[in-house]
Structure formats: C-alpha cells, structure tokens
Amino acid sequence: MNEYLKKLKLSNEVEDILKSSKSLIFPKSREELIELSFGNENKDSFDVIYDVEGMGRLTEANVTRCKNGAVVNYPTDYMRRRDPDCLLVADEFDTDKPKYDDVYKEDFEPLRKETFDWLKKQELIIVPFMAGGEEYGYDALLIAPVNATFFACALSDLQGFLPAGSIPDGFSPKAIVFLAPPFRHTHFDGKQIVVHNRLKDMHEVFSYNLYPGPSAKKGIYGVLLNIGENEGWTTVHASTVKVITPYDNEIVIMHEGASGGGKSEMLEDIHREMDGRIIIGQNTVTGEKNYIKLADTCDLRPVTDDMALCHPKMQNESKKLIVMDAEQGWFLRLDHIKHYGTAPQFEKIFIEPQEPLVFLNIQGVPKSTCLVWEHTLDSDGTPCPNPRVILPRRLAPNIVNEPVEIDVRSFGVRTPACTRENPSYGILGLFHILPPALAWLWRLVAPRGYNNPSVTATEGMTSEGVGSYWPFATGKMVEQANLLLDQVVNSSSTRYVLIPNQHIGAYDVGFMPQWIAREYIARRGGAKFKPEHLVEARCPLLGFGLDSLKIEGHYIRKAFLQPEMQSEVGTDGYDKGAQILIDFFKKEVSKFNTADLHPLGKEIINCFMNDAPLSDYIKLIPMRY
C-alpha cells in the first residue's frame, strides 16, 4: 500500500478506488504540481484528452508552458465561464436545489458507481487540503486523473494543500472532490455539471468538467455552506479590505455581491488616467466626462477576496461581524485589464511572479510571457469576458492573515444605464446607507445584475439569492436567510451601504463608485452620518442617499448622488426604474416568507410587501448613525 495512503482514513469504497487505480501520485510540492500540469513528458503545450465512448478522443483543455506559469484554454466558449445552473443535489437531505433524480428521472447511484469504476482505470493524483483554511478548516481531498493535474494545481492554489510529507496520520476527509471530465459528454450533453452528494459523514462533490469555477472553487464553497448550515454559521460571499487613510486612521470594509458585483475590485487601487485624473463617469448620451483629482488615496490591506469565513469560534463581544479568508488563493477576473498599465501593481505580480501561476482564458505562446490583457478570443472574435488568474495569498502584497472586525458591510450590484426613454433599475446613486433590515433584504435577493462577465449568458435581471452565495449552496434557502438575519442582529455595530457599479443613471461609471465610496467612508471613520446629512432615497428600497459629498476639497456632482436629478433621467425615468426594482424584489422575497422563516424576518418582508416607509424598517432593527 502507498505509504501516504496509509495516513488517510477513508471509506471502503474510496480506498478501493485508490488501491485499484493504475498508479497514485501524492504531490510533494507545488513545483511538482506545476510540472505535472504539462503531462508526464513535461511538454511545452499539453492537450488534456479523453477517450469518450461513441465520440472518440476529445480535447477538453490545452495547457501551455509560459515563463510566468501554466496557461489553460478550453476549446469552446461555453467552458470558459461558470454555468450558473450546473449544481445538482443527489442525496435525500433537505434542499431547495434541483435534484439529480428529478432532472434525469433516475437514481444517481448507478452513475456514482460508474464514476468510481472509471477512476479505478486511471492514473490518479491525490490532493489533501483543508476546506476553509488551516485554523478553522475541515479535512478534504481531491481525486483526479493525473492528466488533469492543472486542475489539481488550481485547487491547491485556491484551497491550499498538504504536501505528501505533511499529511498527518488519521487524516479523515469530510469532503471529497471526484474529477471525471468525460462524463459531461456521455451523460450531460456537454454541460458542466457538478453533483453534490451529502452523506452522513461525508460531502461528495462529483465534478464532471474541467473548469475549476464550479467545483474546485464554488464546489468547496458549497461544502463549507453545508457544514455551516448544520452547525449554525455561514461563509459570506465577500471581499474584505483594511483601509488606512492618509491620516493613519483604519477601518475594515467587507464588500458582498453577486459574481461581477465588484468584490475583487474593492481590493484594487483607484484607477486613474495617465495624467493622474480620475473619471467619475462618462455620460452615455452626451459623451461628457466628469473628473476629480485625489492627490492622496488610502493604503489597502486585503483580507478576503471572495469567501469570508464567519466561524463562531472567531466571534467576540464587539457587536461587529468578524471574518477571515476561507481560501488560500484568489480566482481573479482580469476582464478589466485591457491594455498595459491598467493595474500596474497586479500586472507586475502576474508578469514577473515569484512562482509560476495558473492562468485561464489568456492567450499563451509556449516559452513566452503570457500577458494578462491578451484575452483568449471567443468564437465570434471578441475577447473572452472571463479571463482569470489564480493568485496564492502568499504572493499578494500587504495581506492580512488574521481575523478582522467589520466596520462597514457594503453590497455591490451591476446596474445598466437608465434614461427616461429606456428606464431601468440603474437608479442607484454613488452609494446609499441602508438600515440593517433593508441590508438583509438586499442579501436575500442579491441581484446578479447587468452584463455579468463571470457566468454564461442570462436574460434580463436575475437573482443569485441569499447572500449572493445561493448558487453554490445545497440546503434550504430559508435556513440561510435565518443565518444571515442572525448575523445582522448580532452585529449591531457594523454599518451597511449599497454601491452600484457600471452605471449611475445615464453615466457609465465602471467600478468608480465603490472606489470613491471607500475613500470617502474611510476618511469619515466608517459610514457614520448624522441624520441631517442623509436624505431618504426617492425609492425606499435604497435607504438613504447623501445630499452632498466632498472629498479632498472636491464636491461630487449631485447628479451622481441622486440620479433623478440628471436631465436624461428625471423623476419620471427614475420612478419607472424604481418600479422595475421593487417588482423584482417583491417576486424574489416572497419565496422566503415560509413557516420556517424567523418571525423578525417575516416582519421585515411584510414591511416591504406593504410599501412601508424607511422608519418602519428602523423600528424593527435600530440603525446606528
């Protein structure tokens, strides 16, 4: 028996897979993982190919050796981004997600056995890791064909891994990812399906595709959410940053939102023009640009990028939510880096990394340096909207590794342009201050929003649901809603803001609102505003807006704070857009109004359904000014 296999405490079924396989590799280092990503022959361009019954030999991915890392590309547009409908649940525990047997009209067990039998015939790579991190995490394992080692390398960078010599005796996985790429062709009509099978003492994740997003990343997120649902805590979908002002004041902002909602961007320095000016926005009707200058901006200390662990062992009596990173690496989207000099700090890391990185959907030429602004072209000739790099936390500068208390909890939403001729939900001002009860409602609905680059195309406005992490969860929506409400109630000293990106009314703003909001809120010591500084938003769902905003001597035009003041929008265009937003929220929140919802949650939803004023929400959960 393999000496490392002896250290694992496995079921008879899983042990049989490993003992029956052609060979086992327990990687001893990350360097070994990188080298194996190019095949056993260490080629400069390696195709990941499988024999698929009835279809011959199919190439699932290509891995190119570049000076700065392994560059992975997929042969189809579809495989270059996450399918938001890929998750199925195969067990009999409570769930609101689609069940495998309901969708395919058959029990999962025969396919489970067929998957195990296929793995037995492969050369396998085994990657032990801690889901959720070393300090608060849970034993977990990846079992994958060795020709897909790039996937194993991606997972090890995202989740961390235990080198063969570091595996402790009695390592007892609570979750196992089984990777079997050919099955997407033989059983799922080419779809990137991920099946979760929650057993009594084990969470099985069957990844039937080679894009890491749905399984190596979000699949492990689903594992943590399931554990948390059973234990009474959750992992929020958020980036977190410690912000240090030019005057050495510090606050911590946690930014939540659906994919594309600005989580990674909250960790970025503010983008500037070549002359140092900052474009607040450009009018989509007139072409007019609005600029400000900021001589000094805040220093940033990243804490989390996408998954913030809210483990109960970290919480204290501060009345603030306390989080730390649930991952060991960040799955960074690079679609905004379209040319050299867009994000110099990160470009330096990616082009001259301390260690080779894993890139996806980037053009790669063997033995050259891959450039992160040269995105792979989709079949229509346009750049793929989802180029990625996996950045291990240890390579990120100024990283914070310990738990932090959250001063401000923001929520981001992608908004389309709004004009009176074409009204939309793009009516949010630069940022809004939310009473806690309204902040909870925004997390229940979590609009995916406009032109999302991270997932396959969807029509119109859609919801990612509770906390924006519902697409990755396997349990009950109402249970997650209750956990989020408990967080809000128990974190009374944390404040809440709402920030749009992409558009404010008729203005194209990109992610500038959250960068300006971050600078402004940090200088104020958090979202602390006297009531006289706030104005109720015309749409009650948006809480309070600002009557004025001055930063470093520069006033932001009121048209960016209250979009109804834009001549292209007006109150008529705004009100039509507000109704779109309200109608959408009413449709979505009604799903949560069940017998299992916390009584306070029922009261909040009833307030909203009855078009209550802001004061009613504040009565239910007091708001700190």
Angstrom distances, CA of residue 25 to CA of 40, 125, 142, 146, 273: 12, 5, 12, 8, 49
Average pLDDT, the chain: 94
pLDDT at 457: 45
CA–CA gap between residue 557 and residue 548 (Å, rounded): 8
Query: What is the CATH number assigned to the segment(s) 5-37+84-212?
Result: 3.40.449.10
pLDDT at 41: 79
How are beta strands 250-257 and 235-244 bridged, if at all?
antiparallel
Cβ burial 585-597 (10 Å sphere, 16+ → b, else e):
beebbebbeeeeb
Residue type, 177: V
pLDDT at 460: 61
Residue 432's DSSP bridge partners are 498
Element (H, E) at 350: helix 344-351
Comparing CA positions, the residue from 334, 350, 331, 361 lying closest to residue 397 is 350
Tokens 């001597």 belong to which residue?
A: 553
Cβ burial 488-520 (10 Å sphere, 16+ → b, else e):
beebeebbbbbbbbbbbbbbebbbbbbbbbbbb
Tens of pLDDT, residues 185-215: 999 999 999 999 999 999 999 999 999 999 9
CA–CA gap between residue 210 and residue 214 (Å, rounded): 9
CA–CA gap between residue 611 and residue 339 (Å, rounded): 47
pLDDT at 453: 55
Phi then psi dihedrals of residue 582, to 5 deg: -65, -45
CA–CA gap between residue 69 and residue 353 (Å, rounded): 8
Q: What is the DSSP letter of 214?
A: I
Average pLDDT, 10 consecutive residues per value, the chain (625 residues): 87 96 96 94 92 94 98 97 93 96 97 98 97 93 98 97 94 98 96 96 97 95 96 96 94 92 90 90 95 92 96 91 96 89 87 97 97 97 96 94 96 95 96 97 89 54 88 96 97 96 96 96 89 93 95 92 97 96 95 96 97 96 89
pLDDT at 449: 73
CA–CA gap between residue 399 and residue 388 (Å, rounded): 20
Torsion angle, alpha carbons of 10, 16, 17, 20, to 10: 140
Tokens 């590309």 belong to which residue?
A: 73
Residues forming CATH 3.40.449.10 domain(s) in the chain: 5-37+84-212
Comparing CA positions, the residue from 251, 228, 249 lying closest to residue 241 is 251
Residues forming CATH 3.90.228.20 domain(s) in the chain: 235-321+406-620
pLDDT at 80: 96
Element (H, E) at 492: none
Tell me if residue 466 falls in helix, strand or coil: helix
Element (H, E) at 291: strand 289-292
427 Cβ neighbours under 8 A, 6+ residues apart:
415, 418, 505, 539, 542, 563, 564, 569, 574, 577, 578, 581
CA–CA gap between residue 82 and residue 16 (Å, rounded): 32
Tens of pLDDT, residues 543-559: 999 999 999 888 999 99
pLDDT at 451: 67
CB atoms closer than 10 angstroms to residue 69: 24
Tokens 């001259």 belong to which residue?
A: 352
Contact 88, 99 (CB under 8 A): yes
Give Cα 5 distance to the centre of its chain.
Answer: 33
Helix and strand numbers, DSSP H then E, in the chain = 15, 29
In words, the CATH class of domain 235-321+406-620 is: alpha beta
Task: Count CA within 13 A, CB hemisphere, residue 174.
Answer: 13
pLDDT at 241: 98
Angstrom distances, CA of residue 24 to CA of 131, 168, 523: 22, 18, 55
pLDDT at 579: 96
CB atoms closer than 10 angstroms to residue 552: 14
Residue type, 369: T
Cβ burial 368-379 (10 Å sphere, 16+ → b, else e):
eebbbbbbbebe
Whole-model pTM above 0.85? yes
CA–CA gap between residue 259 and residue 440 (Å, rounded): 18
Tens of pLDDT, residues 37-69: 999 777 999 999 999 999 999 999 999 999 999
